[in-house]
Amino acid sequence: MITDVTSVKGPVRALAEKRGLPRFVGGHPMAGKETSGFAAADPRLFEGCVWCSASSRTAPAWRLADAGGIVHGDRGAVVPSTAAEHDRAVAEVSTCHTCWPPR
């Protein structure tokens, strides 16, 4: 299985399909911080986070669960979606002007 951790799934899925990668399952760990760089590294960042697995036309459904198992073991949750569903949801959260900054 091949996966990724990018925040936009549509273009990556399209490229994987164009390149003929039948074992590709798009992934996006829903975890992060407002800080960046080496000093902000956190070895526990992904523990318990939700892993969004975006299916492709060629990846069987069991690969979605497999992607979550590789990343989380039993410490997190896998949320299956399509690339379009994922990208739409992330765009909504990323552009929520009424949500940030907190009041």
What's the domain count of the chain?
Answer: 1
The rounded mean pLDDT for the chain is: 75
Flag whether 75 is in a domain: yes
Assigned token pair, 37: 């760089």
The contacts of residue 66 (CB under 8 Å, 6+ apart) are 1, 25
Give the torsion through C-alpha atoms of 96, 100, 102, 103, to 10 deg.
-80
pTM of the model: 0.64
| pLDDT score for 61 | 56
Flag whether 17 is in a domain: yes
Flag whether 63 is in a domain: yes
Q: Please provide residue 27's backbone torsions phi and psi, each rounded to the nearest 5 degrees.
A: -135, 150
Span between the terminal Cα atoms of the chain, in Å: 43
Summarize pLDDT for 56-90 with one digit per residue, the tens: 665 655 566 566 566 555 566 777 788 888 888 88
Flag whether 93 is in a domain: no
Q: Which domain holds residue 11?
A: 2-29+47-85
Flag whether 55 is in a domain: yes
Cis ω before 60 (30° cut-off from 0) = no
Flag whether 19 is in a domain: yes
| pLDDT score for 94 | 72
